[in-house]
Structure 1
Amino acid sequence: MADNDILDTSDGDAPDGDASQAPQSRPQSLMLAFFGNHVLEEGDLCVYSGSIIDVLGRVGVGEQAVRSTLTRMVNRGLLRRQREGRRMYFGLTPHATRILHDGRTRIWRQGAVNDDWNGSWTLLGFSLPDSWKRQRHDLRSRLAWSGFGALYSGLWIAPGDVDVSAVVDELGLADHVKIFHARADQATDIELMIRDTWDLESIAARYVTFDKRWTAHLGAGSGEDPIGTRLRLVSEWLWTIRTDPRLPARHLPPAWPARAAQETFRQVAEQTEAPALRGARELLETAPPR
């Protein structure tokens, strides 16, 4: 399974195929947001299943859905079980830890606005046998998460110097892929290339939707549960940014909505961080790994 699929927060397509409408977050995505928010930075801890059921219940995920999601994630190598007496605890695997660190970098460090582009592009060309449908899907998924778009069918491009060698090696495709770092010639219309390669309207619509939804939350007061609010916030933000390659701001339409949406995200994140962490530490039953 590609990391981009694991980090896909959607529970299916949006109503009427409208990509701007954030769909209901999948239990697995909320589960990953939970571990990313409350376990990743706390060290190598295992969390009691009853605590997880309590927390995800705050965002509308029922007990049976939580239990089946935990089992599925164990089978996928994302979580590990640990029994303590009659209780079952769950912790992150190294694979899930890497995915969450990758997501954390994308969410909290890189940001959605690329103001410091140096003019370079990363080009990746590949040629795979027709029968390699799964490998092609995995490669395209990982490239999309890494900021690439299809310039042509077998030639993908991303802004900046992107190191995807580890992705290619992990997929076992090094013999079928060529990677270059280059700059566009003056004859190339970069803004036209961007419009032809990425669906800017869809990306912008996601940011507008997110900003509208969470700006309203900012003015709603502090009556909501901060743990649940923060889980929904991170999950929806990940859904919003997952198709955005962080294109250079200078080549995007005026008033590109990512800037306002990112500011809203950071305000709600700051507003909920301390009370969510405090509440989680009081609520969660944890155990050291064995």
Structure 2
Amino acid sequence: MTMLGRYCLEENPEIATAGYIDVLARIGVSAHATRLTVSRMTERGLLERSRQGRAAYFRASEVGLRVVRVQQQRTFHDTGEEPQPPGAWTVLCFSLPETHRKERHLLRRSLAWESFGLLRDGVWLAPGERDVSAILAQLPGAGVDQHVEVFTAYPKFEDVPGMISRTWHLDELAERYHRFLRSWDVPDPVPEALDDLGRDLILASAWRQLLRETPRLPAGHLPDGWPAARCHELFRTLHESYRPDADRRFAGILAEHRMS
């Protein structure tokens, strides 16, 4: 998904299986594991398969493109502004039947990417007043929105920190940020990567995993010394240093393995 977001959003080219293998080999993923991953993403509706002769080619599906656009927005264009209006929370409740299993998986994934936290089973929470229409638009099944209810709410009690602690484990998340710093704020991060393309893919994926778990809470609800800003600056600095060579290398792979 990181590869698709970085290089395939605009044109969405059809790329041979060998191309995916070539890219992921740079971060130590075997050819067998890559084939399994591509197959699994196709089964989930994130990739589409086509053939030219005996060769299989894959491109992002419409569902996959919508998911990747959300990830790209959060990864590279999140402004970090305070949630508005102050004191408001968006509460989303859903109960999808087993016939909508795929949509349920995508909805949970999308809610996590949009900084919603799981308050309790089927009840998700995010600070501020949030427009969830883009989240629901990612779901491929017809009538899914009939199983989802959304409210803007203001807590009727003073223990908002308690509600936050029941929804997000901030101490554990802070430790993940510090682990990111220990891994990347060093002279030679990810020595297992073969080149800057590999380093950039691992960096963006690691940063996305952090963002997926990070609530966009108002600063007043975050612990003192919250490390997110320092990590974000490190991510942007490293990404800009890797990007020129990574772009050049992927362009060469695409030229070799795209459908003619």
TM-score after normalising by structure 1: 0.74
Distance in 2 (alpha carbons) for counterparts of 1:72 and 1:136? 16
**Corresponding residue for residue 37 of structure 1:** 6
**Corresponding residue for residue 263 of structure 1:** 233
CA contact (8 A) 1:81 1:88 kept: yes
**Corresponding residue for residue 70 of structure 1:** 38
Deviates more, 1:160-169 or 1:132-141: 132-141
CA contact (8 A) 1:230 1:273 kept: yes
Distance in 2 (alpha carbons) for counterparts of 1:219 and 1:128? 42
State the shift of 1:220 in Å: 9.5
Listed as ranges, the gaps of 5+ residues in structure 1 are 1-31
Q: Say if 1:198 and 1:220 are closer, same or farther in 2 by CA, change over 3 A.
A: closer
TM-score after normalising by structure 2: 0.81
What are the Cα deviations for residues 100-152 of structure 1, in whole angstroms up to 9, with x where unaligned? Answer: 111111111125x44465312112345678x8995996455543333223445
Cα RMSD after superposing both structures? 3.2
1:216 match: secondary structure: coil
**Corresponding residue for residue 21 of structure 1:** none
CA contact (8 A) 1:45 1:286 kept: no
State the shift of 1:94 in Å: 1.1
| Residues paired across the two proteins, number | 253
2:51 match: secondary structure: strand
**Corresponding residue for residue 242 of structure 1:** 212
CA contact (8 A) 1:147 1:245 kept: yes
Q: Say if 1:136 and 1:88 are closer, same or farther in 2 by CA, change over 3 A.
A: closer
| Percent sequence identity over aligned pairs | 37
Q: Say if 1:132 and 1:151 are closer, same or farther in 2 by CA, change over 3 A.
A: farther
Q: How does 1:210-221 map to 2 (within 5 A)?
A: 210-217=180-187
**Corresponding residue for residue 85 of structure 2:** 118
Deviates more, 1:114-123 or 1:46-55: 114-123
Q: How does 1:43-192 map to 2 (within 5 A)?
A: 43-110=11-78, 113-115=80-82, 117-119=84-86, 120-126=88-94, 138=105, 140-153=108-121, 155-165=123-133, 167=135, 170=139, 172=143, 174-184=145-155, 188-192=158-162
Distance in 2 (alpha carbons) for counterparts of 1:107 and 1:224? 23
Distance in 1 (alpha carbons) for counterparts of 2:52 and 2:239? 34
Q: Say if 1:67 and 1:122 are closer, same or farther in 2 by CA, change over 3 A.
A: same
Q: Say if 1:153 and 1:33 are closer, same or farther in 2 by CA, change over 3 A.
A: closer
Q: Say if 1:115 and 1:217 are closer, same or farther in 2 by CA, change over 3 A.
A: farther
CA contact (8 A) 1:114 1:249 kept: no
State the shift of 1:264 in Å: 0.9
State the shift of 1:159 in Å: 0.6
Listed as ranges, the gaps of 5+ residues in structure 2 are none
Give the AA of the match of 1:178.
Answer: E
1:181 match: secondary structure: strand
1:227 aligns with 2:197: yes
Q: Say if 1:250 and 1:176 are closer, same or farther in 2 by CA, change over 3 A.
A: same
Give the AA of the match of 1:62.
Answer: S
Which residue, 245, 251, 254 being the options, matches 1:281? 251
Distance in 1 (alpha carbons) for counterparts of 2:117 and 2:55? 46
CA contact (8 A) 1:121 1:159 kept: yes
Distance in 2 (alpha carbons) for counterparts of 1:90 and 1:195? 42
CA contact (8 A) 1:78 1:92 kept: yes
Q: Say if 1:70 and 1:150 are closer, same or farther in 2 by CA, change over 3 A.
A: closer
Q: Say if 1:132 and 1:192 are closer, same or farther in 2 by CA, change over 3 A.
A: farther
Give the AA of the match of 1:180.
Answer: F
State the shift of 1:59 in Å: 0.6
State the shift of 1:265 in Å: 0.9
